[in-house]
Structure 1
């Protein structure tokens, strides 16, 4: 005999809208603690929930919430991530302002007045972020689809999602959503080399814009979710060593780079969050990037420890080659890290700062002595080298949203 909950799950595909709505609403509370409930009969409830994503707004929101929660299960995750029809449904609903849809079980066409801007866009972004944890979702990078004309000029799904993230900040594109969780989607996809290459390569069809430059501008955004996701995306991108010259260059026309010779100018966006209102000596500011000088006296440093660590670890990754270290020294990264170490009490952040000093201030091969203010200048244990975790360890630390 099926239990009451098992009977309730059966109502997810009931023909009556009110019954479907009641079932989905009541099942939300069980989706975190009883994932097995939704795996019955070879994932039949999951199949029903995929259909309910296209149902009326209240039902769709509950269905998405359940899918977000149960996607922590590997079997469910693979079922979602490999479903091309579901992926297209999610992309259509998150990128298009208005659309026409059919009620899932009744086959009745909804009018525009009944179907305003997508009310569950944030939930869709969260589900996409979870789905990106499966390797199969790399196919988004090669996915072409109809162009949502109000949003983008590109036929590529990834371009459309980035445009949605940029234009949708703070409800600017859709009053029901801020699209902040797309930053977690980008962060998870940036674990894969193919995504890193895309994010750091000028796109000919988009005026040679480097995609990461659209994302990096949000490192000081008011939304904690957006800042954390962007910081994680940038850190994962920094694992691509061949892209470091592009990331570090601040020139729109840089003859040292391959055509179209455009730099991403990443450094100001990861260094500004580490800076407070401190004043620097003339010898420290000489050569410092223009964006980092003459800051307001009320400039506030990033307060979230995980975000600060992500930015500092990005600097560590960018210091992989001698040429990159020379750039970081030339633009005076060391004084900024020094002040961060002095004014932040968190030990993890201070340790990360020490690691940067160890790399930037130590002697290079052929040099006779360390840089001025070099190894051990922070005091305490700062003279001890701390190895950077390997790439796999770093990727596993990308934040989960469930």
Structure 2
């Protein structure tokens, strides 16, 4: 079987187009990750099939490009394949041209491939790249690649720009590239060409019909909030908190009294009975983790209290009846409902030290379980508190 597959991948650079096409269509199934995966065949002759696939991705025939890029997208699950694909500047430029060509029949597939490539740290270079002229760029007001991608994602919903593509999967590209410091700086910085902050353009998609758009946007928001110094600027724009809370709010603000509702941002004061909470538990948790990140500073906690966040998450927990949701809601409530020290006794230096320690956490995905709450020289984690039975060991937020 191995020899037969090696022969099959060797046909990827056959002189006859028909032979290459047959080889491609038969190889798609072997590119998928899994316990019985055969994708090691693409390492044949020092990764020659990868080089062939990149060439075939430039073919004029849409079906050839589709099969070649499907295989390359699948192979990005493997670190070594992904690095070979993502570090190739010429190939990256090709994929970007395909996405920004609004007549491209494989536009969405190119978005998937780009998003998979974005799992490579080398993709941080995309924030310094400019769009090369391919004759299809009149719609773009900026030549900066990230600006082009944000705009095509924002305006390209429901095939409005390209009848073949809706660009939903770019949401995952934004999520993965917001892991980088350069990415977070871009998403949270006002751009010269339109005086807009890119992250704000994404906020309306937290309640979108597309799961890809909701999920990718949720992770992008969460990643950007790891830049603690940018949090209050984003909150004061009065758009990010409603975007996070809307997917968490119950229909008609069920369970909230008049006093609770009066504290809410305007966008949440008059929710009707058709309001839908986020149906996917993992996305809900991601939004809740964003709320928890906003609890890291005293300013953030005060802002959340004054905007009625506690009742929203309290009622969501009752509705969800999910252990993961309950755990993170417990952490949020713990941060928001404890008595703060008076502001004249507030130790901002201690808080900065706590924040710096928090930002050094290597495991950002599981940051919630590592978050500490400081009292003087002592910090205690949620797990340590859970092990304590005595009230006098509960610590106070500074």
Query: Given the two structures, how large is their TM-score scaled by the length of structure 2?
Result: 0.83
**What SS does the aligned partner of 1:119 have?**
coil
Q: 1:288 to 1:360 in 2, by over 3 A?
A: same
Q: Which residue of 1 aligns with 2:162?
A: 174
Q: 1:5 to 1:78 in 2, by over 3 A?
A: same
Q: 1:85 to 1:249 in 2, by over 3 A?
A: same
Q: Which residue of 1 aligns with 2:248?
A: 274
Q: Cα RMSD between the aligned structures?
A: 2.0
Q: Which residue of 1 aligns with 2:149?
A: 161
Q: Which residue of 1 aligns with 2:25?
A: 25
Check whether the contact 2:100–2:137 (CA below 8 A) recurs between aligned residues. no
Q: Which residue of 2 aligns with 1:132?
A: 118
Q: Deviations over 1:175-202 (max 9, x none)?
A: 2122111111111111111111110111
Q: Which residue of 1 aligns with 2:86?
A: 81
Q: Matched residues in 2 for 1:78 and 1:303: separation? A: 35
Question: What does residue range 17-166 of structure 1 map to in structure 2 within 5 Å?
Answer: 17-32=17-32, 33-55=37-59, 56-97=61-102, 117-146=103-132, 148-166=136-154
Q: Matched residues in 1 for 2:6 and 2:183: separation? A: 41
Structure 2 portions without partners, runs of 5+:
344-357, 368-398
Q: 1:231 to 1:338 in 2, by over 3 A?
A: same
Q: Which residue of 1 aligns with 2:314?
A: 338
Aligned with 1:351 (options 286, 309, 327):
327
Q: Deviations over 1:147-178 (max 9, x none)?
A: 65343111101111111111221222112122
Q: Matched residues in 1 for 2:366 and 2:10: separation? A: 36
Q: Which residue of 2 aligns with 1:238?
A: 225
Check whether the contact 1:151–1:160 (CA below 8 A) recurs between aligned residues. no
Q: Matched residues in 1 for 2:98 and 2:127: separation? A: 18
Structure 1 portions without partners, runs of 5+:
98-116, 252-264, 368-387, 398-402
What's the CA shift for 1:396?
A: 8.3
What's the CA shift for 1:146?
A: 3.1
Q: Matched residues in 1 for 2:43 and 2:139: separation? A: 37
What's the CA shift for 1:236?
A: 0.8
Q: Which residue of 2 aligns with 1:195?
A: 183
Task: Tell me which stretches of 4 or more aligned residues in structure 1 moved more than 4 Å.
Answer: 388-391
Q: Which has the higher contact order (CA 8 A, sep 6+)?
A: 1
What's the CA shift for 1:2?
A: 7.6
Q: Which residue of 2 aligns with 1:11?
A: 11
Indicate the larger mover: 233-242 or 162-171. 162-171
Query: Given the two structures, how large is their TM-score scaled by the length of structure 1?
Result: 0.82
- What is the count of residue pairs matched by the alignment? 345
Q: Deviations over 1:202-253 (max 9, x none)?
A: 11222x10000111210111011111111111111110101101211135xx
